[in-house]
Each structure stands twice: as structure tokens, then as C-alpha cells.
A and B are shown apart, each in its own frame.
Chain A
Amino acid sequence: GESVGLHLPTLSVQEGDNSIINCAYSNSASDYFIWYKQESGKGPQFIIDIRSNMDKRQGQRVTVLLNKTVKHLSLQIAATQPGDSAVYFCAEGPMNSGYSTLTFGKGTMLLVSP
């Protein structure tokens, strides 16, 4: 399928490295944040979310860190694998609101070399 990764910042890592993908958000009122993964030719896939009352949340090989002071979100992927190659983007919005109020970032392309 056609890539959605053109014109995006790119992070290139070696297999087995840890990857850190960053996202700056602008809306101080946002209290819910989501990371999505989008492989070439596919739709976005939910990875992990975090609420503003937390500053860290861990999943399977992934950790999301939230710094509300500087409005910054990061996604850490441990032991990156070639299958992790994709575009990653964050989304932000008010917690008690529908998905239609989410604001999505442009994304970062992660390239993992064997």
C-alpha cells in the first residue's frame, strides 16, 4: 500500500535498540493522550494511552511518558524489532469527550534495520 510516511520526521534504529518517539502537544486542556501505530497500507492501530493524572504508563515493550509542564509526550519501544517499522503518531483531547474531539499529530516514521 501507499506509504503515509512521506515528508515525516524519521527515526532510524538498529534491531534490538530502544526507540524513543516524541510528541509535543499544544492544548493545555487535553487530559487524555493516545499513541497509534500505522503500518504502510494499513489503518492506525491503538498502542497505549495515558491520562493526565499519570506521568508514566507501561505496556508490552512500550512505555509512554507524559510531561504536562512542557506539554510533551514520548513513546519508548524496548528492543525494537523490524516489525515495529511504521509511522507512529500521538493524539490528544479532553478525557470526557468523544473521539471526534481528538487532535492528531503528524507522526514520526520509525525504520528498524535488521
Chain B
Amino acid sequence: EAGVTQSPTHLIKTRGQQATLRCSPISGHTSVYWYQQALGLGLQFLLWYDEGEERNRGNFPPRFSGRQFPNYSSELNVNALELEDSALYLCASSFFVSRSAGELFFGEGSRLTVL
């Protein structure tokens, strides 16, 4: 069974540009989570989608947005890129919403570099 897949693996952009990252969850998983992992910092929660709806949002500015498609895949968009947006962006999926019932599975991430 395929795990969580993310694309692209690496992305280089310049300040002010837009970046789009994509994620395909494990088959059967309806929840998709996005996290930012900057060097030296813990994972920071960005967005949670379930059944096509945004369920929760982390403490990030509105230029971080996304969506979930009917097939449960998801897209993260970062507009007006800033240097500090350089980070590893991780996508994760789960079958259950509650942690008590299941595990969170992570993809290998998309490395975004903003020059």
C-alpha cells in the first residue's frame, strides 16, 4: 500500500512568488494535515482538512492557504513568499479524526527554498 506522497520534493522560489505543494493521502484516509518544519524548530501545524472542508488552522498568516479535493488529495498554497517561509513542508493523513483511535502517517515532505 502506498504511503503519503508529496510533490515536488524540492522547490526553489524567489521572494514574492507563489508556491504550490501537493499531497496524496493514504488510500481510505479522509483527513490531511499540513505542517511546517523550519530548521531547528519543531513541527508547526498549518492546516487540517477533512472531507473537503478546512477543519482547523494554525497560527499562520492568510497567505498560507489550501484545499482538499474530492479524492482527498490536498494542495498547500503559499502566496507572496518570504525568506522565512523556507522550510520542509510535511503532509500527514489519518483515517480517524481522534488520536485515540489511530495514527498519523507522514509523507517525506517538500523542501521549499525562498531566495
Contacts and interface: CB of A to CB of B under 8 A. Distances in A.
Contacts of A43: 4, 90, 92, 106-109
A60 interface: no
A107 B38 CA distance: 12
Nearest to A51: B100
A4 B37 CA distance: 8
A98 B56 contact: yes
B8 to A, nearest CB: 13
A46 B106 CA distance: 9
A6 B40 CA distance: 6
Contacts of A6: 39-40
Interface residues of B, number: 32
Nearest to B47: A100
Interface string A97-114: 111111111110000000
Given A43-B4, A43-B106, A45-B106, A97 B98 contact: yes
Interface string B82-115: 0000001010101001111001111111010000
A96 B104 contact: no
Given A98-B97, A102-B45, A41 B108 contact: yes
Given A8-B40, A32-B99, A100 B109 contact: no
Interface of A: 1-2, 4, 6-8, 32, 41-46, 89, 91, 93, 95-107
Given A41-B108, A100-B48, A106-B41, 9 more contacts: A4-B37, A7-B40, A43-B4, A43-B107, A46-B105, A97-B98, A99-B92, A100-B33, A101-B45
16 contacts: A1-B108, A8-B40, A32-B99, A32-B100, A41-B108, A43-B109, A46-B103, A95-B99, A95-B100, A97-B98, A98-B97, A99-B94, A100-B33, A101-B45, A106-B40, A106-B41
Interface of B: 4, 31, 33, 35, 37, 39-45, 48, 55-56, 58, 88, 90, 92, 94, 97-100, 103-109, 111
